Structure 1
Amino acid sequence: MTARAKDFDYRDKLSFVAEWHDYNSGYHKNFVVNYYPSDNTLDIFDKDLDRLYLKRTTMDSLDYNDMYVGNTIRVYGRQIKLTDYADCKTKSIVSKTKERTFAILTPCVIDKLGEIITQIQEHGFHINRMRMCILNRREALEFYEDRRGDSSLPFLLEHVISGPVVAMELVGKDAVSRWAELMGPSDPIEARRTQPESLRAVYGRDSSATSGFHGSHSANDVNR
C-alpha cells in the first residue's frame, strides 16, 4: 500500500541527506532534513557543526510529494538538494513511489513533443525537470557509452546530433520499469507488432537508431 501524508503520526518523519551551496560565496553546508508529513513541518540538522540548524517549522511551500531524492526544495530562500535517504525506513517508504528515471526524446519525435508530454503525464509520471538542447558528437558518444561496440551506434549518433533533443527527469512509482514499458521495444517495427500502443510503436521511425526514446536501465543508471 502506498503511504500518504495522512497515514503518519505527529512524530513520524522522513529523513534525507541534503546539501546547500551558495555559488556566490562558495559556502557549502551538509544537512539532514527531517520532514514530518502529518503536519507538513520540517527541521534541519547541520552535519558539519553537529547541531540543529532549523527547528521544526511549518513549510506552506512544500508538501509530501516534494520529498524525494534528487529534488531541490526551497527553505527560506535557500535551494536545498535532497541527495540521499538518511535511513532505511525513509528509503522503503519513498523510493518506490518517488523513483526517478532519465528520459531522452531524440530529433525524430520532437515535432510531436506536446502529444508525448501529455502521454507521459497521463501515465502517472511527474516531469521534474525538462531541457531542450543540441548535443555534439563527443557529448552524444559519452551519453551512449554503454552502446560501444553496437553496430547501430554510428547511425544512432548521427541521428542524435542531427537536431534538438529533449532530456527529462521523470518521477513516479517504479519509474524506471514503467518508463521502459511505456517506451516499448527498442526496434519500432517490433514495437508495432508486440506493443502497438507504446511510444516507440506510435512515434518511432523504422530502426532502433530512430526509435525516438531513451531511458535509464536502472536506478543507479539515473545518477550517471
Structure 2
Amino acid sequence: MSNTIEVFAFLTEYFDQNAQLVKQFRINYFADGTVEILNPSRTKTIMKRIPYKELSLGMLYIGSAVTIFSRQYHVIDYADAGTRKRFEKLCGKAFGIVKNQSLPKTGEILAAVRGAGFVIGNLKTVVMDGETVLGVMASSEQASMEGAVSLFAETVLNLGHEMYVSATPEDVVKDCDDFFGNGSFKNSFKAGEESTLCLIKPHVIKDGNLGPIVSAIQESGFQFAAMQMFYLDRECAVEFFDVYRGVLPQFEEMTAHLIDGPVVALQIVGNNICEEFREMCGPVNVELAKTVRPKTFRAQFGHDFARSALHCTDLPEDGKLECKYFFEILSEI
C-alpha cells in the first residue's frame, strides 16, 4: 500500500451546543493529510475526503478533542486493530512533571517539547507535597510509544531543570490517569488571590508558540498560580464571551475560534495585576498593536481580531470571576 493512501481510523463522539451527545462518527485520517468522516458502519459519508491542514495525526490520540469545520469531535477509540497498532508505532505518548523550582522555566520547557516534534495534549498545575507542580502530557508525531518516552526524557532532562518523567509506556498511561483522569488531583487555583485570567488561544498552540508566549509572559515579570489546558465546546465559548454579544461584530468569529483547538488558561496573580497585564497584552486590534505597541504579546503572536493570541480580563472586578469559571467550574465538567 502506498504511504500516500495509508489510513488511520478513529471513532469519535459529537456533542451539540447544549452539550448533548448527538452520535458517533468514524474519522479516517490519510497519510497525505486528507480527512473524511463517515458513520461508524461506513455505510454513509458525512464529509467527503478533503485536505484539512489544521488537523495532524498526533492530535488524534484517545481522549483528545478536535475541531473540524467548527464541529468538535471527541476521540474515544480506534476504529480497528490495524489503526491501533500503526498509530502507537508512529505516535507515542510521554508524561512529565515540572517541579516547583523549575516553574519559572515553563515556557522554555514547553518550547523544547514542541521543538522535539511533540503535540502538547494536556497541562495542569496541581499542589503536591505542599508545592505547585505542572504535569505535561505530550504526543509524538515522530516516535513510537517507547521512542516517545526516551525522546521526551532526553529533551527535557538535557535542559538541566528539575523534572520527573515517566520511565515506560505503562508508566505514562498510569501517570496520565493519576494526574488528569477522573478523581485526579485538583488544579492549583488560588481563589483568594487578586487575579487576572490569561487565555491563550488555539492558533498560538497550533502555531507551536505556546512555549514562546509563556516565556514572554514570565520574562515580563508575571507569575501564574494555576495553568490548565481546556477543550471548550461551543456552549462554553458562547457563555464565556456572552458579554461581547451584540457589542463586537466579531463575536461569532471569536467564539468559533475558541473551539478550534485547545486553549490554555493561566491565573496570573499580583497587585494591580489586571491593569498591568492588560497593558502588556496590547490592543486587541492586532494591526494596531503591531504598529503602536510592537513589543506587546498580541503584536508578537496575534494574527487578527479573533486570533489575537490571548484573552485577558478587562476589569479588575472580573478577574476572580473569570478565573473561577475556568479553574473551578469548567475543570469539574
Q: TM-score category by the smaller chain?
A: 0.5 to 0.7
**Distance (Å, rounded) in 2 between the aligned partners of 1:26 and 1:127:** 27
- Candidates 68, 74, 90, aligned match of 1:75: 68
Q: 1:43 to 1:222 in 2, by over 3 A?
A: farther
- Candidates 190, 203, 211, aligned match of 2:161: 203
How far the C-alpha of 1:91 sits from its partner, in A, is: 1.9
Q: Residue deviations 1:28-61, cap 9 Å, x none?
A: 42222222334613122156xx852604242434
Letter in 2 for 1:174: S
- Candidates 30, 34, 38, aligned match of 1:36: 30
Q: Tell me the TM-score normalised to structure 1 length.
A: 0.60
Matched with 1:116 is 109
Q: Aligned residues: percent identity? A: 16
Letter in 2 for 1:162: E
Q: Residue deviations 1:152-202, cap 9 Å, x none?
A: xxxxx42xx323x22222011135554356547xxxxxxxxxxxx972892
> 2:9 touches 2:29 (CA, 8 Å); kept in 1?
yes
Letter in 2 for 1:179: V
- Candidates 4, 7, 11, aligned match of 1:13: 7
1:1-224 counterparts in 2 under 5 A? 7-9=3-5, 12-22=6-16, 24-38=18-32, 40-46=34-40, 52=44, 54-66=46-58, 68-70=60-62, 71-131=64-124, 133-135=125-127, 157-158=128-129, 161-163=130-132, 165-172=133-140, 173-175=143-145, 178-179=148-149, 182-183=152-153, 199=157, 202-204=160-162, 212-215=163-166, 217=168, 218=170, 220-221=173-174, 224=177
Report which structure shows greater RCO (CA 8 Å, sep ≥6): 1
Letter in 2 for 1:213: Y
> 1:130 touches 1:169 (CA, 8 Å); kept in 2?
yes
Letter in 2 for 1:54: I
Any unmatched runs of 5+ in structure 2?
Answer: 178-333
How far the C-alpha of 1:223 sits from its partner, in A, is: 5.5
Q: 1:117 to 1:91 in 2, by over 3 A?
A: same
> 1:100 touches 1:222 (CA, 8 Å); kept in 2?
no
**Distance (Å, rounded) in 2 between the aligned partners of 1:180 and 1:59:** 32
**Distance (Å, rounded) in 1 between the aligned partners of 2:146 and 2:16:** 32
Matched with 1:148 is none
SS of equivalent residue, structure 2 residue 117: coil
Letter in 2 for 1:24: N
User: How many residues end up aligned between the 2 structures?
Assistant: 172
**RMSD between aligned alpha carbons?**
3.4
> 2:102 touches 2:161 (CA, 8 Å); kept in 1?
yes
> 1:103 touches 1:169 (CA, 8 Å); kept in 2?
yes
> 2:137 touches 2:176 (CA, 8 Å); kept in 1?
no
Any unmatched runs of 5+ in structure 1?
Answer: 136-156, 185-196, 205-211
Letter in 2 for 1:22: D
SS of equivalent residue, structure 2 residue 84: helix
SS of equivalent residue, structure 1 residue 92: helix
> 1:180 touches 1:215 (CA, 8 Å); kept in 2?
no
> 1:20 touches 1:79 (CA, 8 Å); kept in 2?
yes
How far the C-alpha of 1:99 sits from its partner, in A, is: 1.7
Letter in 2 for 1:121: R
Letter in 1 for 2:137: E
Letter in 2 for 1:199: L
> 1:107 touches 1:162 (CA, 8 Å); kept in 2?
yes
How far the C-alpha of 1:79 sits from its partner, in A, is: 0.8
